[in-house]
Structure 1
């Protein structure tokens, strides 16, 4: 009976959403877990409580963001909520912030099955244009209510994006052999400082499992970021590390937003952009080699 009532409600919703000028707005709160980074800091005697507090505050700004999704029946734009830059937040922090899913406008056209997103990397502007990822959603039987909307669960396994730092996991140092640990310690003592290659501390999974909750009560094929392909607006996405949750929905507001693709930047495919990012990061790591950049130093 519950599913029948929901089906009837969805049919009425389809009628109301059929109008030509239909448009909606959804606010999403994105939060990425930093527990592995925090545990690594807590185990490092070189980081004082004051330093840890400062790092955690900066990490919170990078890993907790608010996004706005404006959508109609065929397209959408997803963009981070505009905020004034915090004092002392230099280009390095803005760079890391953009690698955590912020910055730029993400345009999806579900009718044409394409997307366009403008990105800034190392002072250069890129315009990534590609086909929307084909997500093989598995429809689950579980239901829940989010913001007053009845939602259904769906899961999918997707390749991890190499240019999105949120997909990286900290490596388990316990996996190192005892001989390697002693050699590393001896080298640190000889040089008089502790050095940690940032890239060598990270591990990239090949695939990640996505859990999404969508509502047929808003029958649009849209969602946050690159997520789409379900018979209703996606209100929550969880990849095991990052949770994107809808906190507000406004339908058919009098104030309309122009939903169009960004145009500035060098046009590249997603694969070309990912390769550019990884190549530059590797170059920076090799070039600095303990002298800054992606190297994290802590004097004894």
Structure 2
């Protein structure tokens, strides 16, 4: 008879419960729950008068909106990652001075299959559904050997230096400016060899154990619950809806739609430039 053990431990800011069952050699699958959060520095809104109190209020509201729930469903070969459904509410959107900002973490489901080097992402870009097909992203992890506890699991620290292009756009009546710079972000993962699957939150993978905590720039994903070999078999949902595009094509469509949106909603008087910078 299998025994079910419930482990409960306090992690700063979260109550972490990890339930697991004995793992058989014939079957290994599970469901992991994560919460996201975001750290944020100052907010600078150019072209508008905003008091320090208003900026602090907006910063706190944006941080609150970044707290989302996610589910990673996995077996030894594949995994899916998606945000848990929630009711939309415009009341929760940060606003100040007649301006409203909607912070979005995205509405998509991702599928990873390392054995086939396969990545699929079913997502919406400005209301239209797309199916992104690509090879798996590569993470050149460096395992540091540093350890700590998450719940009752011992986790090991690994790091990856990600270098990518970052594009910012600003718009006025007279001109549109686009700036692309190379940005370096340190991605830090804490994984446990006790759960021997090469998966993690936010489409990260490639370590010899499940990633229970991930810090990518200002964003952090923390595992709050893991259930291994549940009584109800795990269903791996392979995304299939939407127009098939490559990652490059999806990025180009998103940039084009963003420029259209900026032109549509720019209401600055006398050529006033509207630029929003977060953390800069």
The bucket for the TM-score relative to the shorter chain is 0.7 to 0.9
Who is 1:154 aligned against? 158
Are 1:66 and 2:69 matched, yes or no? yes
Offset, 1:284: 3.0
Who is 1:130 aligned against? 134
**8 A Cα contact 1:236 1:245, kept in partner:** yes
**8 A Cα contact 1:33 1:63, kept in partner:** no
> How far apart, CA to CA, are the structure 1 residues paired with 2:85 and 2:165?
25
Offset, 1:51: 5.7
> How far apart, CA to CA, are the structure 2 residues paired with 1:50 and 1:283?
32
Where has structure 1 moved over 3 Å in runs of 4 or more?
Answer: 47-58, 87-90, 159-163, 199-205, 286-292, 294-297
Who is 2:225 aligned against? 248
Unmatched runs of 5 consecutive residues or more in structure 1 = 1-12, 172-194
Choose which of 20, 24, 34 in structure 2 pairs with 1:28. Answer: 34
Equivalent residues in 2 for 1:55-134, closer than 5 Å:
55-56=58-59, 58-88=61-91, 96-97=103-104, 100=105, 102-134=106-138
Who is 2:12 aligned against? none
Greater per-residue helix proportion: 1
Choose which of 206, 212, 217 in structure 2 pairs with 1:235. Answer: 212
Q: Which moved more, 1:274-283 or 1:222-231?
A: 274-283
Are 1:285 and 2:262 matched, yes or no? yes
What is the SS of the residue equivalent to 2:123? Answer: strand
Greater per-residue strand proportion: 2
What is the SS of the residue equivalent to 1:245? Answer: strand
Normalising to structure 1: TM-score of the pair?
0.69
Unmatched runs of 5 consecutive residues or more in structure 2 = 1-19, 94-99
Cα-Cα RMSD? 3.7
Normalising to structure 2: TM-score of the pair?
0.73
What is the SS of the residue equivalent to 2:203? Answer: coil
